[in-house]
């Protein structure tokens, strides 16, 4: 009967001394994040048309696509494409154009591509047209960054409100390291950075915070429970106690994202791969980054006995 499970991700009573690897963890993380920042500067994100503007047209030709003919027809219409390529099947064509000098020209160019396609290969079905003007893409970029920044601030405030400030700082520094690595991942994989990627990053942010909150919550509980345990030992204990949950939840979110990456189609697969990467980074950073930062920040402060040993402030006089 399935009543009691025999499977555990890690056996009960596991006691791994994670804090022994704290310098290594931080160092690896810092190096990866620095590298990511470098990649962000050069070559930079592969901005999609949401943020860069331009035109993307996907079309289905009746037979195998005749690219030479399509290119010739586009050139004839004086359309300066940045790419005419096969997209999956051999009758699936993807045409890209840079954004035009003004909004009306961008829209007119999109319509001309339709005509050019119809002339080159009559019977072509246009599957998708995205034509985004420069002012719209600038606004979208602004809104995307604002969403990220404000979410970040709100998470900081929430943790600050619910935990001691050491926890908030630990969480935010870790989240920054997570996000930089996710951006590095996006640069390396050349995944298109569109608005849906902002959604992916925000979801990773939410997921990663969630993970940190659970581990922190246990530390806070243990701080009250074991008054005399050294902080380092206490942090290790808390991580180990929550290890099954941390890995379990990572697994379920990972399992939910995997099919999206594999068969979610073009729009969702980039999103899902970013999620998968974020889950791995977010889970490991809870253990190897967030906890050591707390250890450094709270070595002398978070212990109740240490607080009690501090000289009491003289009462303020009027």
CB of 187 to another protein, least distance (A): 21
Does 196 bind another protein (CB under 8 A)? Our answer is yes
From 15-23, 79-87, 121-129, 185-193, span contacting another protein (CB under 8 A): 121-129
Residue 98, classified by CB atoms within 10 Å of its CB into exposed (0-12), middle (13-18) or buried (19+), is: middle
Name the token pair of 86.
């096969």
> Interface with another protein by CB under 8 A: which range of 66-74, 184-192, 264-272, 293-301?
264-272
Is position 293 an interface residue for another protein (rule: CB under 8 A)?
A: no
Q: Which stretch binds another protein (CB under 8 A): 70-78, 211-219, 291-299, 309-317?
A: 211-219
Compute the least distance from the CB of residue 280 to another protein, in Å. 14
Binding mask 123-162 for another protein (x = CB under 8 A): --xxxxxxxxx-xx---x--xx-xx--xx--xx--xx--x
Site for another protein in 64-103 (CB under 8 A): 103
* Burial profile 192-204: b = 16 or more Cβ within 10 angstroms, e = fewer: bbbbebbebbbbb
Task: List all residues 6 or more positions away from 8 whose beta carbon is below 8 Å from its beta carbon.
Answer: 244
Of 290, 291, 262, residue with least CA distance to 276: 262
Residue given tokens 């399935």 in the structure block: 2
Own/partner long-range contacts of 168-172 (Cβ < 8 Å, ≥24 apart): 169/293, 169/297, 170/212, 170/216, 170/290, 170/291, 170/293, 170/294, 170/297, 171/209, 171/212, 171/213, 171/216, 171/290
Position among 97, 198, 235, 291 found at the interface with another protein (CB under 8 A): 198
Dump the DSSP string for 153-214.
Answer: HHHHHHHHHHS-HHHHHHHHHHHHHHHHHHHHHHHHHT-EE-HHHHHHHHHHHHHHHHHHHH
Among 81, 209, 238, 274, which residue sits at the site for another protein (rule: CB under 8 A)? 209
* Sole binder of another protein in the list 19, 191, 272, 290 (CB under 8 A): 272
The only residue of 7, 122, 224, 309 in contact with another protein, by rule CB under 8 A: 7
Candidates 65-73, 176-184, 212-220, 282-290; binding stretch for another protein (CB under 8 A): 212-220
Stretch 32-61 residues interacting with another protein (CB under 8 A): 58, 60
Under 8 Å between Cβ of 140 and 50: yes
- Residue 71: CB minimum distance to another protein, A: 22
Among 29, 242, 274, 286, binds another protein (CB under 8 A): 242
Does 248 bind another protein (CB under 8 A)? Our answer is: yes
183 near another protein (CB under 8 A):
no
């Amino acid at each position: 009967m399935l009543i009691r499970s025999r499977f555990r991700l890690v056996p009960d009573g596991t006691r791994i001394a994670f804090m022994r690897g704290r310098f290594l963890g931080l160092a690896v993380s810092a190096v990866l994040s620095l590298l990511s920042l470098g990649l962000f500067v050069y070559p930079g994100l592969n901005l999609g048309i949401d943020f860069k503007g331009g035109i993307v047209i996907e079309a289905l030709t009746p037979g195998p696509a005749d690219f030479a003919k399509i290119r010739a027809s586009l050139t004839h219409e004086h359309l300066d494409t940045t790419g005419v390529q096969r997209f999956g099947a051999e009758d699936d064509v993807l045409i890209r154009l840079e954004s035009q000098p003004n909004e009306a020209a961008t829209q007119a160019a999109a319509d001309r591509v339709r005509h050019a396609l119809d002339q080159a290969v009559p019977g072509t079905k246009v599957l998708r047209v995205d034509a985004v003007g420069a002012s719209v893409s600038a606004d979208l970029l602004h809104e995307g960054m604002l969403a990220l920044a404000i979410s970040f601030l709100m998470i900081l405030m929430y943790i600050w409100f619910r935990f001691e400030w050491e926890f908030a700082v630990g969480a935010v520094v870790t989240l920054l390291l997570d996000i930089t690595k996710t951006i590095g991942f996006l640069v390396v994989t050349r995944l298109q950075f569109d608005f849906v990627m902002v959604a992916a990053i925000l979801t990773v942010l939410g997921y990663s915070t969630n993970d940190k909150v659970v581990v922190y919550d246990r530390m806070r509980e243990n701080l009250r429970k074991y008054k005399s345990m050294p902080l380092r030992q206490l942090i290790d204990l808390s991580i180990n106690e929550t290890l099954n949950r941390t890995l379990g939840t990572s697994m379920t979110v990972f399992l939910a994202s995997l099919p999206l990456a594999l068969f979610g189609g073009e729009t969702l697969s980039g999103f899902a791969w970013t999620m998968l990467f974020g889950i791995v980074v977010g889970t490991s950073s809870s253990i190897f980054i967030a906890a050591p930062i707390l250890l450094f920040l709270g070595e002398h402060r978070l212990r109740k006995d240490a607080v009690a040993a501090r000289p009491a402030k003289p009462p303020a006089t009027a």
